[in-house]
């Protein structure tokens, strides 16, 4: 099948684009496969062929967004590799940009999504802590990396509740605490933690982050 301009039709990409727009407009719960299918003039079964459930659509949208952020930081952080600073900048970009639309924020923190990602997130965070440990020549055994990854995710959940559900802090203050905890769990000293947090905010404040369609 080909589009009107003669290019091959990318049904999977089209599903993601339409789903992202509908999620932003109606929220996760109110957006259905049928709504997406009607927008694209396809059968709902065609969506199931590419994405077995709505959380899998969200996972692909999230990976798209993080890919844009990582590519941007890779291209603009010109100093030597510092995985703690790098991940701090990614944190600020993600949280500042994703807060543009409440439905997008809810999308990534919906119970369906967090339940599906539970184990996957642990392995992602383990990779981050392993990179920081190698970068700063810290020693962790696998069990310790796993433990601090689990604790980090738990702390993030609590901070998110304070920010979003209770309104007790700003998004930048929430990011500050998340970055601080990442530094503490990575066994970095106080001066290194505070210096890199400030450098991350300086970078974020002096750069215009890339266009991320889902967050607009």
Q: What residue spans define the domains of the chain?
A: 11-50, 55-207
Distance CA 169, CA 159 (A): 9
Give the mean pLDDT of 1-15.
65
Give the mean pLDDT of 43-71.
92
Asked whether the predicted pLDDT for residue 127 surpasses 60, the reply is yes
Categorize the per-residue pLDDT at 161 as very low, low, confident or very high, splitting at 50, 70 and 90.
Answer: confident
Phi, psi for 29 (deg, rounded to 5)? -65, -35
Distance CA 83, CA 14 (A): 34
Q: Which CATH class is domain 11-50?
A: mainly alpha
Considering the entire predicted model, what is its pTM?
A: 0.87
Asked whether the predicted pLDDT for residue 86 surpasses 90, the reply is yes
The per-residue pLDDT for 111 is 82
Produce one character per residue of 53-73: b if its CB has 16 or more CB atoms within 10 Å, e if not.
ebbebbbbbbebbeebbeebb
Categorize the per-residue pLDDT at 180 as very low, low, confident or very high, splitting at 50, 70 and 90.
Answer: very high
Give the mean pLDDT of 143-167.
84
- Percent of the chain at pLDDT > 90 equals 62
């Amino acid at each position: 099948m080909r589009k009107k301009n003669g290019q091959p039709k990318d049904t999977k990409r089209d599903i993601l684009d339409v789903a992202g727009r509908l999620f932003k407009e109606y929220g996760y719960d109110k957006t259905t496969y049928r709504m997406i299918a009607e927008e694209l003039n396809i059968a709902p079964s065609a969506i199931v062929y590419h994405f077995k459930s709505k959380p899998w659509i969200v996972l692909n949208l999230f990976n798209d967004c993080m890919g844009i952020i990582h590519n941007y930081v890779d291209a603009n952080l010109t100093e030597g590799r510092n995985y703690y600073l790098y991940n701090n900048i990614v944190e600020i970009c993600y949280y500042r940009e994703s807060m543009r639309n409440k439905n997008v924020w809810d999308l990534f923190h919906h119970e369906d999504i967090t339940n599906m990602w539970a184990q996957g997130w642990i392995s992602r965070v383990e990779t981050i802590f392993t990179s920081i440990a190698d970068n700063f020549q810290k020693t962790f055994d696998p069990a310790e990396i796993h433990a601090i990854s689990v604790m980090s995710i738990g702390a993030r959940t609590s901070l998110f509740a304070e920010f979003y559900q209770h309104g007790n802090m700003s998004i930048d203050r929430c990011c500050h605490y998340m970055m601080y905890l990442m530094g503490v769990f990575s066994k970095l000293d106080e001066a290194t933690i505070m210096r890199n947090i400030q450098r991350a905010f300086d970078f974020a404040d002096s750069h215009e982050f890339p266009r991320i369609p889902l967050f607009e």
